[in-house]
Each structure stands twice: as structure tokens, then as C-alpha cells.
Structure 1
Amino acid sequence: MFKFAASKTKPYFYKNSIKPLQRNLFYIVFLTIFLTLGGAKTYAQEGRPKEKSFPAKNQTTSPETQPELTEKPVKVISGDSLKKKKALLDGKVKYKADKYAKIDQKKKLVTLYDKAELYYQDIELKSGIIVFDYQKNEVYAGRIKDSTGAYTQAPIFKQGDNQVEPDSIRFNYKTKKALVWNSRTKQGEMNVKSEISKKENDSVYFLKKARFTTAKDIDNPEYYFQASRVKLVPGKKVVVGLTNMVIADVPTPLALPFAFFPMTEKSRSGLIIPSYNDSNVRGFSLQNGGYYFALSDHYDLAILGDYYTNGSYAMRFESSYAKKYKFNGNVNIRFENLITSERGYPDYARTNIYNIQWSHAKDAKSNPNSRFSASVNLGSSKYYINSINQVNVGSRLNNTLSSSISYSKTFNSVPQVNMSLTATHSQNTNTEDINMTLPTLQVSVDRLYPFAPKDGVKKGFFKNINLQYTVRGENRIATKDSLFFKKEMFRDAKIGFQHSIPLSTNFKLFKYFSATSSVNYNEVWYFKTITKQFVAAQNKVVDTEVPGFDAFRTYSFNTSLGTTIYGTFNFGDKKKIQAIRHLVRPSVSYSYTPSFSQYYDTYDPDGSGTMRKEYTRFDNGIFGAPGKSMSNVLGFNLSNSFEAKVTDKDPTKTEPKKVMLLNNLNFSTSYDITADSLRWAPMRVSGGTAFFNQKMNVNFATTLDPYAINNAGKRINTWNIDNGGSLFRMTSANMTVNYSFSSRGESKEKTNTQGKRNGGREDDLFGTNTDLSDRRQSQFTDEGEEKETASEFFNYKLPFDMTMAYSLTYSNNNREKKISGNSLMVSMNTDLAPKWKAGVSTGYDFVQKGVTFTQFRFERDLDSWRMDFSWVPFGQSYWSFFIGIKSGVLSDIKWDKRSQADRSLR
């Protein structure tokens, strides 16, 4: 079913009344004098001054003498001796013209020439020439010839919400009937042109030899539908007779004996025509057919389905909803029953996969104290791999599905209280492990300053003392994909509450140092603990769950001291590099946590009774367990950044240009005072910077261990330098480089919306996501992005944009000294010619020595149509070809051909 809606225009009209015109010589003379005095370029035929004449057709009037848009009222003298006649006009007439505006009182004609405009009741008419016959109640408008003999200034006729742009028009404003030659009008997304149009009344039009198209150029469209007879009801429907599709002025065999086009500004329910395809694995198919329900102005529903001749089928439910200034969102539910081969064959397999996506956003202005949001993406771990309806390139490479639904509320009390309720979901598609919290409750009370004055600045140790209270409760579930939402999933749930009361303060020390101190108290509640014992029958240690309430309490102390040091190296104002600024932020921290050995018990690990091991009944709790060992740790951190001032290349700029050399260079380590060995923790070094006007980002990190390892790969209490090595032993290192640039200057931000929603990347580094239910969207640009206008001569420098990602990982935990990861990914798009685009996403793994995922993309913009081709040559090879009309009204007119990747069911 084809759908399109009428467009709305809101012109301004004049609806004032005009007094009756009397056929009396005296009043005609009076009217002539009145009109003569009223406009310098407007005259009646009788009483016209002989010394003045109308301008010739090739003359133009100056702005001082050009007639303005003026009203021409006609007065009536009432009297007993005069017989009243019905008024010829029912409203006030307004008009103007560039060359002349002529009134013929005998013939009751008003003739306007050159850029003529006429306004009467709800009629607005602009044309080269307009003849207004107010005796016959008719208006004629047409084109005029310019100096070259070409016709110009075609009429633009508006009445109410309808607009017509014909070559000429004849209209009776009493009967509302009209004859229109070569009319051009727009109804929703459709442009309509007909040789002859007959307007029967305000709601019915009859067209002869009409063409319908969504092309912008109605006179020279790329395609159109040719109909011999048409009945048009603006804003409601179009009924046509024999209709033939014409492409590039060549008639095609595609024809319909009759057709019905509903037109409305609101969404309409209707059938969604499926597309045909075939597969070597599942046979022939009809895909993406169904029904669209326009339920209301605030929400809708589309039910789509696929069917394969081997018995496979799929169902999808898609709904969008919105309420202005309140909320908006959408829901997608997908289910697929996949069958491979045929029953009785050894390779026969059957599986069910599903996916649920839900996005919801609330307008913050609707209720600032209450917020609700949802971002859900859950389902079968193998959905994106085995789905027969979506080509999920980047999503198939993604290993994690995640969801979050949260509600938060703020209570404006004193102190302020914040509450949030959140449900989360994380799913590893490789291991099929699922971790959920159903739900997480968190309540926090705003900070209290018991020693701060009510007025004035909080300054000093005591005035800055503050405390806060937070309680967090979780119902945490860990399960497998196969047990999702089964009773076994809820049986192993873990519940707990954690209460935290931090007491902290901050103050200045010796003017240049900033100090912070805090004491943290934690109390954890569990409703299930464990006990360990050796079971001789099983010959192993068995954990037995003990139901019931239990709790433990811990506390700790933390303090830190830090400062900021600035250093500038000046080289002179005439140097290219005028100065380098070094910013250093050193800090020292100390933390102390006592031993909580009172929560520990012992068990016999082998049943011999000769050996005892300690454990705590709170092991495996969701908020951890109390520590037995005392912790007394000093932490050291050094943060650096380097910035340069360089002479600007632009000689008009007097100020130097700032260039960031290193965004950050951080060193961190710690020292455990109470440990009996291995007191120093490995040093962590990390940094990052940007090059080429922030287009290339480089980040690196490494771990340096001062201790040596033995032959078994275990750390020993010996310095690495004393063991024949260097001062530090590099155990790991990694570096990432991301580079995006464009030949057009600033690279455009590209958003792979569906790919991001599926859990993949926002860019097209791993290819693009193709939704087979709607192939009208471009592979290269976001919907609604403005397109560049192609010039007559295409630029010899091909415009392009490129995204590159490089990753390098080094491992040396056990002296293996190997490159464990080394890969390069590249995505590039270019314009081969005007309206021709090509792109590729590929990469190479230097460790595995093979090409990573690769996709080639080609697209042709055919104005009203779009054609694209994509090809995945390696691995699960796949190709698809599409050509179809861009407009949603005729989105079912398409040809979509693709191969089905041979995916194994897992």
C-alpha cells in the first residue's frame, strides 16, 4: 500500500467586505474619478487623462511610481429612488502589477500585467498576466513572454491549503470550478503534474494525463507514474485508472489497472509488502512483510515476519512512542526459529534465537526531581551471528551485550536525599555468561558539615569536616544463556546490603599543599553465608550454604597530600618554539586497614586433622569479605603535562599558538609497610598525546616490576637488577593509535546508530550495520545529512575521509618477551565521481598473519532512487545489492538481492 500525506501551507488572506456596485452613469463617473486619484498607475477606461498613457510592455516603472498593493473599494450611494442590486463582489480585492493594472468598467474586467498579484477572499494568485472578470465571477492567469520569446512567470495559485503551479488557469470563484493546464502541485511527498485538471469543487479534482513522482524536478523527473484518468481529493486520497511506470521517459511493463493512494498528514495503517529472496541453506523466502498499525499520534506498531520454504521463520515487533516535553523511546522484539538442512539428514539442526531492544529517554524539564531511562539490549548470545534478517557486521564482532534501566528521585529535604533503583545486565556472547542485578537500590544523604558556620566560607580542618550516609542493596544473579529466566537462574541469586559512612575533611598545609583525610566505616549485611568442611564420601571440601541474616563491620583510614608545580622554559619571542610549560602534580597517600581476624574460622582441607586452613563465612559475598591481613600502604603518584608556545604561521596573529606536547604522563606505585616481602608494587606508567590538530590520538601504558622472578615465573623478594637484569622488568605494555582525517578539512562525525545500539562501535571501522527491513538509508551518511551539490567539473582530487586504529600489546610476565597483539584496522570512504561513493573497512593482524574482517561498499545516488552494493569477501562471505526509491511513500518499489551467509547454528 502506498501512503503519502498532503502538505500544509498557511498563506495570509483578506476577507473584508466590499459595498455593492450600482449601474448608474453618475456613480460610474464618480468611481472613475476615485480610482484615478487613488493610484498613479491605475485608471478606468472612461475619464482617463489623455496626457498619460500606459507603459509599453517592454518598459519598467520606477520604484517611486510602481503601484503598491492597495485596496480598491467601490462605494454605493443608497437612496429610495435607486433600485438596489446584488453585489458583484463578496469581498475586498487587493492587487498589484509591475507594468500596469487596468480596469475596464464596461466589461467588468481588471487586467494585471507583469509580476501580477491578486488577493480575493481565500484566493492568492501570482502570475505574469491576470484577468479578473467580476461579472462572470472568473479569474484567468497565464504566462507572458520575455525579450527572448520564452514564457516566464507561470501562475502560482493558492486556495486554502492547496497550491497549484500551472501554465495557465481559469477559475470561477463562485462555483469553485476551475480548468488548469499543465498544473503542478505537491501532495505530501508526491509531486503531481497533469495536462488538464478540472476542479469540481473544494474537495474533488479530475486530472487528465497525469504523472506522479517523488522526484524534485516534476518537469524532467527520473521516473514517474503515468495515469490517463485521476480523481484527487486533496489531503485524503487519489484514485487512478490504468497506471504505467515510466523510467527515464521509457515506459516499463510495470502497470496497474487501478490504484489507490491514501493521503493524510497523519500516519495510516497498512500492509507492508515483503521482499523475495533465496538461500542455499533455507530455500526461497519472503522477508519483511507484515502490517503497520498507526495506533495514535503518540505511538505505533509494526509487525514484520519472514518465512523460508524449509520451515524457518522470524517475527519482529517494532514500536516507537513519544510525548512532547515528556518522553520518547522505541521497542524492538525479534524472534527467529532457524532450521538447517531437512529433517532426517545428519546435518539437521534447529534453534531459537531472540533479541530485545528498548530505549527510553525522559525529558528533564518534565520533572527535574524524577528521572527514568532505559537502554536494553539482551537476548541470545548467538543472535547477531546467526540472525537471518540483519547483517550485523560490527555487532557480530562485539563480545558483550549490556542493558540498564534506572529510576532516580531527589527529595528536597534538609539534608537532601537521593534515591535510585537500577537493573543492569551484562552478557558475554563468547562464554555465554550473564551477570545481572535485579535490582540495585541506593539511597544517599547529602553531605553534612556539623562544624561549619551557617554563613561564611568553610575554611580550615574543623570547618570542612563532613559526613555522608549511603546504603546500597543488590540482588545479584550470575547464570548462563541456556538458563536465562528459568527457575535455576533465581535459585543462585545473592542478596546483600552495604552501609557506608565516610567522615572526611580537606585543608591547606603550609600554603602550597592540599591535604585530605577520611575515616570510612562500612557495614555489610548478608542473608546467606557458607561453611566449609571436608566430606569423606566425596573426598573433597564442600561449601554448604547457611541461610539467615549475618553481618560484618570494617573501618579504614586514608589521607593524602599533594601540590602543583609549574615550570616554564623560555627560548625567546623570536624563536619558533617560544616556551615550554611543564605542569607537575606530585601526591603522597597513606591508607590503613586493620585486621578483622575475628570473622575467620578454620577447616580441615584433607580430613587428616593435621592441617587447618582459615576461611570466612562471608566468602563469595557480593560486597566482598573482611580482610584478615592488616594493610599499611604508602602510595606515590606523579602526574605531568607538557605544553609549548609556538609562533603562529598566520602573520596577522600576534599571540603565540599553544600546542599540547603531552596530555598526561603518569607514574604510580605503592609501598606496603607491614608486608614481610615484596613491599613495592609494580610501577604503572601511562600517557597520551595528540598530533595533527588533535586528529591523531596516541595512548600508551606499561607495567614495570622491580622484583625478579624464579624459573617457575613467580615473583621473588630479590631486586631484578641484583638478579642480572635491568632496574625494572617490563611485564606488559600496550599502545593504541587512533587517527581520523578528511580531505575536506574537518572530518565529519559519523554515527553508526544501530551498530552502537547493538553494542558495537559508533563508526564504520568494522563496517556498517544493514537493517534488511529498511534499505533506504545510506551506508555513508546519516539520515538527514545535507549532501554536497555536484559541480559541472568534478574535482580532480578525490574527496575522502579515513579512520585508522592501531593496537600493539607486549607481554613479558614469564620472560616470554613476545608481541601478543599487533593489528591495524582501516576504514576509508571516497567520492569516485559526483553521486558515486565507495568505501572499505579492513585490517591486518600481524600476529596471526591474516586479514581481519573486510567489507567493500559502493553506492550510487540516483536522485529519487538509491543503489548500493556491499561485499564481505572473507570468512562468512556475503554480498547484497539494492536499488529502490528513497521516499517512504514508495519504499516498496525496490529490488533487493543478497546472498545468505552460511552460518552454523551454535
Structure 2
Amino acid sequence: MRIFVIILFTLYINVISQQIDSTNSNLSKGTIQNSIADSSKVDTTKTKKKSDIDAVVTASAADSLFYDVKNKKMYVFGSGELKYKQTDLKSGKIFINYDTNDLEAFGIEDTSDTAKVKIKQAPILAEGTDVYEGARIKYNFKTQRGFISMAKNKEETSRYEGEKVKKVDKDTYFIEHGIFTTCELDTPHTHFTSSEMKIIQRDKIIAKWIFMNIGGVPFPIPLPFAVFPNEAGRRSGLVIPTYGQDALRGQYFRNFGYFLALSDYFDFTVTGDYYSKGGYGLQSRVRYAKRYDFSGNLSAGYSKIIIGEENDPQRREQTDWNVSLYHNQQIDPTSRFDVNLRFQSSSYLRNNSVDYRDLLNQDIISNATYSKRWDESGNSLTLNYSRTQNLEKGDIYESLPNINFTKNITYPFKREGVENLDDQKWYELVSYSYSGQLRNDRKKTGGNLTSRAGVMHNLSFNASPKIGYFSVSPRASYNEKWYNKRIKIENQVLEKVDPITKAVTKKDTAIVTDVNELNFVRTFDMSVSASTKLYGILQPNILGIEAFRHTVLPSISYSYKPDFGSDTWGYYDSYTNSKGEVIRYDKYQNEIFQGSGIGESQSLYFTLGNIFEVKMAKDPNDTSKTTEANKIQLLNLNASLGYNFAADSLKLSDLSLSYRTQIGELLSFDGSSSFTFYDFQGGLKTNRFLSSAGKGLFRLTNFNFSVSTLLSGEKTEDSRSNQKKSEDEFGTFEKKDIVDLNKVDATPDFSIPWNLSLSYNFNLSKPTPDSSQTYSNLSADLSFSLTKNWRFTVRGSYDFDRKEVSAPAVTIYRDLHCWEMNFVWHPIGTYRGFRFEIRMKAPELQDIKVTKSSGLYSGRR
């Protein structure tokens, strides 16, 4: 039966225990109580030394617990456990000396195997979150120093072992003949050995004359010393550089610098590059984050590229720079602030990136947005700054400010508490909405800078009464634009004299000038539409099919817009060329919201929607009450056609068709096509129907479709997907702030044994009967696990018109337990090349890696 003894060795209990003059006894709980009860018979006049143990000591044993009262010693045998403050010790044998405050623990010899001596119940010492294992442990309660032979310690992501471990203070240990590893196997794949190691808990591990051992084979050349991080989370330290050779820039050291973890909310990184032919680079980044509130970073980079030898006439130098700011903040539940700004020289990505998507990108887009909404009214406000930089031409487009205000749909005549449409009067369904925008745009092309500003108001009125089986929706809208300038075009005749024949030629040139004045452009339009639903159902009850349903959605609408290009409105002007021709132009065609448009419109539109569905019989073994899972949408087919009564010709619009279907998650298909009813002559569309020319009812002008599928094996449980995530304030922030231009693909998902993504796109364009252009492309992405540790990915596309493969890439990933291998290969094309890398997985040791690259990946950061 388990003996459990609680001994309170406080100052008072220690004084009483020293008054007891007794022989050694094998005690149970009852005998301890009896001994204390008889303490009045003992001489208490002697002064005894007090113990330095000043807290409760709890001891337990599965076999026996022996207390030597006279010598103040305690012996614990058999699965013993001792608890003192934050220290917890488990061992087969535990000896305590309360005079010297010493503790000694060791295991019990296992005699069940006579062929080999084994130790069971070896000591395990836990101090807070630190756990130590060893063959023998000595520990002093007063000095909190100790000694462990054949010790092992497991940290959060690493562990260290040693023949002898000596604790010299609360957080410092010295290890003799120790090893350090991040591999959790009993026989690690990789470890570091050292004759002397110093451990500073939650800080660092310092070792001298250290050997790296891989697969049991040590590297022959040791390092004089090494420092390993021994702290979870982010920590300050050097950023280890990479060394290599570049064909154009020479030998290099890249990404050498320092990372400074200033707090849980803020850090700073600075790195530099050096090339033997004279080039260099400097990068810095500041990150900040507070979980659930805000996060962001500010980064900047500068590089000088020197290509060619010093005496080479083709030698060239080029400097590049970039500055980027990322910030997102949820100010309160109704407002937020998001910033994503990027400013850089036009050649920065070309000279520094290894991502072919960056190299193909021609535009750098920046945005900063503040948004606010008012829940009670549904109104919203947005303030935005946007910037687009064209890397090829150098043009810059900016919009500042761009202010949008939207008033939610409002029903001014609606009665409170009446929500049922059948109980509402027709005028209660009348609503209005408003939106306003103020925008100022600037365009910089070469040395020219132009700007345009304006304000636009949109006010619309709607109603949605139901008349019988039809839903009728009348609508009227009003638009007003405010501009501070307009254009004026005048014709200028330029004469050119031929120096030989003396002939004079005249050329008309339109001279455009801005007229600064306040202008208003007011337009309006109105429309009315009616729609309904028709159903057709067929119930064959064969092959498990309960019913076919065909839903028809017919709709007709009429819209009217006046001709704002007429002289009545004053939005158009004209000039006369040298031939006497009068040319009309929109005075606001260059403004930010453009002008009013020309031409009257009275259009009648017909749309016909068709939904084809099938309902399968329910599985008799299915006990669920839902029936939605048995409905399958076979096809969604829509057609539309319009007629403009106000047009002087070509009144009938093209017939447009769109179609879409999806067979579960297996196959997705969608497409569209358009047809014209008019004949072509001389490459131009004429006001003559094809039927009148005996060429049929209509002619195909455009046809396109896309089909895609995603297939994958059944997902399995993979322990690697359950690895502990970072719990600091930054969370997953680092993944979306700055792209690591050196980083290859992320660790793949081994829980999916394979997946295949296929998509095919086809487009046929026939603007005239005699001309056509086609485009067809097949894209594929195949990923599979050959074994539980090998992952292959092949992706690419094939252009059937050019008969060439575009952007193929092969990625091979190998999980090597505490190491990982990644190989990326672009076999053909402009960006062909490869990158091969083997590195350790542990975050604190990821700078230990072997990298080889060529082509795209060589010589780029």
C-alpha cells in the first residue's frame, strides 16, 4: 500500500524535530505523530542550528519512506516524488540531508535482465518549465546549485545532454562532454558535440570547440566556438549571411546583418550585401504589431549594381531603391485603416527579384484606405489614396484624394413594424439612394504633369410593386458632375513647302487648351422593367430520378436617355477644319468623370434565363431531414437581346448567350457567345440583315468557354500539420508583409496524397466573316506525395496556337525529419534556372543550409 507523508519543514517544525532525541526508526504516518506527541520528555534547552529549507516539502513513495530524526535525514524508496516550491523530483531513490540542505537522487538497478545492467526509475527533475533527466542528481536547496550525471534536458524546440551537468545559479548550467540537438529522436540525425558548454536558460547556449555530427559522422574540422539561441519566440541576434558566386557580379556575401527584437510589439532588421566586383546593397525593415488591433511594417532598400570588369567598355553601374509601407488597423467595429504603399525605381525588381511573377509585372500598385460605416443608418464613407507606377514607361498615375460617401437605400413612406410585402402599399415600396464622390487625379508622363479634379453626385429612385405574377420595377436616376475646367479645341492649319518643287501642303492640327471655370454637367435617365418566373416539372421516376425542373425567368425592360450632345444642353462644341467640315467634340471628354455622352437612347431589352435541375431519389439509409443534397443544377442558360428605337441604324443589338454548369466538385464549365444579325461589306457592318442577303438569320462573332477540374486523394491525418504555431503578437503577420525573394516554396501539405488541377480556355473571335482569331490554353498543376516524405509538384501551361509550353516549373520537396530539401526548376523560357537547397528545420538553425542555383536564381537577392 502506498505510503504518503506530508512533512512541513518550516522553522517551527524544524525546532520541534531537533528536540527529539531518538534512535533511527522506519516510520509510518502514525509513528511520526507519536514521536512529536512525546517531545515533552526531551531536553529542549540546547540551541540547534536552523535549517535553510523555508517552504513546504511534500514527499511520497510507492515502497517506503525512512526518516532519521536524530541525523535529520530522510530516505525515499520506490517511485519516490518530492515537491519543494517550483521543484518537482521523481526518482527510484531520494536521500535528503536537512543539516546540509543536500538532496541526492538516483535510479534503481533493474535485475530482471541478467545479461545487461539497466537502471529504472531514473531521476527526473522539473523546475518550472525546465525538465532534466539523468543517472544521478545532486542538488542543494540553499544555493540552488546541483550536479547531474548523464543528463538530458528538453527545451521547446531543442534539447541538450551531457555526461556531467552542474548548476551554478538559478539560470546557468555548465555541461561537460555535452551535445545539443533540435532532433527529437533518441539517436538524433544531427547534433553538435562540445567538451564544454554553458547553458543560460531562456537565453543562449555557448560552446567551444564544437563538432557538427550528421548521421553519426562528425565533421573533421571543428568550430572554435558557437552560440545557439535558447529562447522561444523572437530574439535579437545576427542574421547569418549566404555566400556564393554570381557570373555577372562576382563572389558575394548576402543578407548579413542584425535582427533586434525590441519588444513583443516591435522589431527591427538591417541587412547588407556585398559583391566582389563592387556592387553592394542595404535593406532595413521595422515591424510592429498588436494582436487584434493593428500590424504593419516599414521597409527600405538601396542597391548598387556593377556589371563588368573595371577596364571593360561595356561595364555599367546602376542604382536601385525601394520603400514600402504596410499597415492595417481595426480602429473600432465600424472603421478601419489599411495601407499598402510601394515606391521603387523602375529596375528594382528586375535586378533584385527571383520571382518570375515579379519580373513579368509591369505595374506597381499602392493603396491607402480609411473606411467608416454607420450601422443605424447604413451610410458609409471611404477615403482613399491610390498610385500606379508603370515600370516599363515610367508613367505614374495618382488619385488623391478620392472620397466616396454612400447613403443606404431609404424607404421614406414605409410604415414602422410592417415587414410583410403583402401588407405594404405600393408607395411604401418607393426608395431612394445617394452616392457622392470627390476625386483628384494626377498623371506624370516624362516631364509632363497633368491633373484633373471633379465631384460627382448620383441620386436614384426605385420602386418594386408586384402586379399579379409580375414584379414591376420603375427607376429614375439623376447624375451631376462638377468640374473646375473644360477643354477648347481650335483648328490650326500648318503649311509645309517642298524645297524642290516649292509645292505647299496644308495639314490640319487640333490645338487643345484648358479653360479654367466652374462647370456643371447634369444628366438623367429612366427605365422600367417587369419580370416573372415560370416552372415546368417532369417526374419520370426512373434511374433514381424523381423529377426534372425547368425554371424560366423572362424579363423585359425599357430605358430612356435624352441626347445630351444636342445644342440644347450645351455640353458639346465644334470647330471647322480647312475643308469646311464641322467637327463636334465633348467639352468634358478629358475630365475625370468624362462628359455626358452623345445620342438619344430608347432601348427595349429582352432577357430569358433558364435553369435546368434534377432531383434524385433520397437514399433510404439517409436519416437526415434535408433534401438540398439531392438537387443538382444541370445547366444555367441565359440569353439577352436589345433594340434601340432612337438609333438611326443598326437598331438591333447582338444576341448574347451565357451558359454555366458545375458537376459537383468534379467539373466546372462556363462560357459565352455573341451573334450579329447584320451583314458585312468591305469590312464594315451595314444596316442590312443577313436574312435579307440570304446568309442565314445571324452570324457568330465571339465564342469562348473554360472548363476546369480539381481532383485530389482522400485527406489523411498528418502530424506535421499540427505543429505549434507562434503565439507572439505578430502571429502570421510576417507572411503577408514582405516577400522573401530568396525563399523557395513553402512546406507542402502532406495530408493530401495527391491533387491535380486542370483548366482549359478557348476563345474564338470573328469580327468580320473573313477574319478570325483563336486562343486556346491548357494549364495543369499536379502535386503528389511519392512517399510520406517526398512531395513533387509540376505546373505549367501549353499554348495550342503558338505550340509552346509556357512557364513550366518543377518543385521537389523532401522531408528529412530535422532537415528539409527543396528543389525548384524552370527548364525552359526566359527565366530558366534552378535552385537547390538543404537546410535545417529548426527556426534557430535555419541559417545552416547548403544552396546551389543557376539562371534566374543566380545573382539575385
TM-score, structure 1 length as denominator? 0.81
* Structure 2 SS opposite 1:183: strand
Q: How far is the alpha carbon of 1:162 from its aligned partner?
A: 2.9
Number of the residue aligned with 2:767:
813
* 2:170 aligned with 1:206: no
Number of the residue aligned with 2:470:
513
Q: How far is the alpha carbon of 1:687 from its aligned partner?
A: 2.2
Number of the residue aligned with 2:847:
892
Q: How far is the alpha carbon of 1:710 from its aligned partner?
A: 1.8
Q: How far is the alpha carbon of 1:194 from its aligned partner?
A: 0.9
Matched residues in 2 for 1:349 and 1:688: separation?
55
Does the Cα contact within 8 Å between 2:21 and 2:70 map onto a contact in 1? no
Larger deviation, residues 500-509 vs 303-312: 303-312
Amino acid at match of 2:206: V
* 2:436 aligned with 1:471: yes
Amino acid at match of 1:645: K
Does the Cα contact within 8 Å between 1:18 and 1:91 map onto a contact in 2? no
1:398-441 Cα deviation digits (max 9, x unpaired): 555433211022357x8565321012234566666554322211
Number of the residue aligned with 1:527:
484
Number of the residue aligned with 1:445:
407
Number of the residue aligned with 1:276:
243
- CA root-mean-square deviation: 3.6
* Structure 2 SS opposite 1:310: coil
Larger deviation, residues 878-887 vs 75-84: 75-84
Does the Cα contact within 8 Å between 1:499 and 1:523 map onto a contact in 2? yes
* 2:833 aligned with 1:883: no
Correspondence 1:49-198 to 2 at 5 A = 82-83=44-45, 85-86=48-49, 88=51, 89-105=53-69, 108-144=72-108, 147-148=112-113, 150-187=118-155, 189-198=157-166
* Structure 1 SS opposite 2:359: helix
Does the Cα contact within 8 Å between 1:425 and 1:437 map onto a contact in 2? yes
1:422-471 Cα deviation digits (max 9, x unpaired): 12234566666554322211123344433223443372331122233322
Number of the residue aligned with 1:840:
794
Does the Cα contact within 8 Å between 2:65 and 2:76 map onto a contact in 1? yes
Does the Cα contact within 8 Å between 2:158 and 2:184 map onto a contact in 1? no
Q: How far is the alpha carbon of 1:621 from its aligned partner?
A: 1.7
Number of the residue aligned with 1:6:
none
What is the aligned residue count?
A: 809
Q: 1:700 aligns with which of 665, 671, 682?
A: 671
Q: Structure 1 residues 899 and 697 mapped into 2: Cα distance closer, same or farther (>3 Å)?
A: same
Matched residues in 2 for 1:742 and 1:503: separation?
50
Q: Structure 1 residues 352 and 805 mapped into 2: Cα distance closer, same or farther (>3 Å)?
A: farther
* Structure 1 SS opposite 2:13: coil
Q: How far is the alpha carbon of 1:236 from its aligned partner?
A: 3.4
Correspondence 1:868-879 to 2 at 5 A = 868-875=822-829, 876-879=831-834
* 2:543 aligned with 1:564: no
Amino acid at match of 1:216: E
Q: How far is the alpha carbon of 1:653 from its aligned partner?
A: 5.7
Number of the residue aligned with 1:675:
647
Amino acid at match of 1:125: L
Number of the residue aligned with 2:661:
689
Q: How far is the alpha carbon of 1:180 from its aligned partner?
A: 0.3
Identity of aligned residues (%): 28
Q: Structure 1 residues 77 and 449 mapped into 2: Cα distance closer, same or farther (>3 Å)?
A: farther
Q: How far is the alpha carbon of 1:639 from its aligned partner?
A: 2.6
Number of the residue aligned with 2:498:
none
Q: 1:394 aligns with which of 354, 357, 364?
A: 357
Correspondence 1:690-839 to 2 at 5 A = 690-691=662-663, 693-712=664-683, 714-745=684-715, 771-774=740-743, 778-781=745-748, 799-816=753-770, 818=772, 820-839=774-793
Number of the residue aligned with 2:500:
none
Matched residues in 2 for 1:743 and 1:424: separation?
43
Correspondence 1:176-575 to 2 at 5 A = 176-187=144-155, 189-217=157-185, 219-261=186-228, 263-264=230-231, 267-342=234-309, 345=312, 347-363=314-330, 366-377=331-342, 379-380=344-345, 383-384=348-349, 386-388=350-352, 390-398=353-361, 400-410=363-373, 417-426=379-388, 434-457=396-419, 459-480=424-445, 483=446, 488=448, 491-510=449-468, 512-537=469-494, 539-572=508-541, 575=543
Q: Which runs of 5+ in 1 are unaligned?
A: 1-12, 38-42, 48-72, 751-768, 789-797
Amino acid at match of 1:307: Y
Does the Cα contact within 8 Å between 2:11 and 2:50 map onto a contact in 1? no
* Structure 2 SS opposite 1:463: helix
* Structure 2 SS opposite 1:813: strand
Does the Cα contact within 8 Å between 1:741 and 1:747 map onto a contact in 2? no
Number of the residue aligned with 1:60:
none
Q: How far is the alpha carbon of 1:679 from its aligned partner?
A: 1.4
Does the Cα contact within 8 Å between 1:19 and 1:75 map onto a contact in 2? no
Amino acid at match of 2:427: F
Q: How far is the alpha carbon of 1:305 from its aligned partner?
A: 2.7
Q: Structure 1 residues 805 and 425 mapped into 2: Cα distance closer, same or farther (>3 Å)?
A: farther
Q: How far is the alpha carbon of 1:660 from its aligned partner?
A: 2.9
Q: How far is the alpha carbon of 1:567 from its aligned partner?
A: 3.2
Matched residues in 1 for 2:139 and 2:338: separation?
57
1:188-208 Cα deviation digits (max 9, x unpaired): 543111110111232332110
Number of the residue aligned with 2:726:
none
1:491-532 Cα deviation digits (max 9, x unpaired): 31211110122222222221x322222221111011121011
Larger deviation, residues 599-608 vs 145-154: 145-154
Structure with the bigger percentage of strand: 2
Amino acid at match of 2:365: S
Q: Which has the higher contact order (CA 8 A, sep 6+)?
A: 1
Does the Cα contact within 8 Å between 1:643 and 1:658 map onto a contact in 2? no
Matched residues in 2 for 1:300 and 1:24: separation?
57
Matched residues in 1 for 2:224 and 2:474: separation?
85
Matched residues in 1 for 2:427 and 2:22: separation?
99
Number of the residue aligned with 1:856:
810
Larger deviation, residues 226-235 vs 634-643: 634-643
Q: Structure 1 residues 770 and 409 mapped into 2: Cα distance closer, same or farther (>3 Å)?
A: closer
Q: How far is the alpha carbon of 1:841 from its aligned partner?
A: 1.5
Matched residues in 2 for 1:306 and 1:143: separation?
55
Larger deviation, residues 419-428 vs 334-343: 334-343
TM-score, structure 2 length as denominator? 0.85
Q: Structure 1 residues 18 and 313 mapped into 2: Cα distance closer, same or farther (>3 Å)?
A: same
Matched residues in 2 for 1:101 and 1:379: separation?
75
Amino acid at match of 2:94: I
Number of the residue aligned with 1:795:
none
Matched residues in 2 for 1:232 and 1:650: separation?
67
Amino acid at match of 2:13: K
Matched residues in 1 for 2:209 and 2:716: separation?
52
Does the Cα contact within 8 Å between 1:187 and 1:235 map onto a contact in 2? no
Does the Cα contact within 8 Å between 1:31 and 1:75 map onto a contact in 2? no
Q: 2:554 aligns with which of 561, 567, 586?
A: 586
Larger deviation, residues 697-706 vs 639-648: 639-648
Number of the residue aligned with 2:735:
none
Q: Structure 1 residues 710 and 210 mapped into 2: Cα distance closer, same or farther (>3 Å)?
A: same
Q: How far is the alpha carbon of 1:553 from its aligned partner?
A: 0.9
Q: Structure 1 residues 76 and 625 mapped into 2: Cα distance closer, same or farther (>3 Å)?
A: farther
Does the Cα contact within 8 Å between 1:460 and 1:508 map onto a contact in 2? no
